[in-house]
Structure 1
Amino acid sequence: MSPRTARRALVGVTAVATGISVLAVLLVLAAWRNDRTIESDMGTATAEVLSAGSLRSAVSFVTPDGITHNPRLGVLYPTRLTAGQRIEVEYARNEPDLVRVAGRDARVAIVPSGSVVVGTWLVALPVLLVLRGRSRTESS
Structure 2
Amino acid sequence: MLLPFPQLQMFSSFFTPSEGIFSPWPGSLDTIEAMPWSDAFKRKGASWRRMLVSQPPVQTMTIEKISFQLGRRRAVLENLSLRMGVLYDLVVPFINDNKVAFRVHWDGKSELGGDLKLSVFHGLSRTRDMNSAVDSRFRCDGEKPVEIPFGEWELETWS
Q: Please indicate the TM-score interval, normalised by the length of the shorter structure.
A: under 0.3
**Higher alpha-carbon Rg:** 1
Please state which structure has a larger fraction of its residues in helix: 1
Relative to the length of structure 2, the TM-score reads: 0.25
Relative to the length of structure 1, the TM-score reads: 0.27
More relative contact order, 1 or 2 (CA 8 Å, 6+ apart):
1
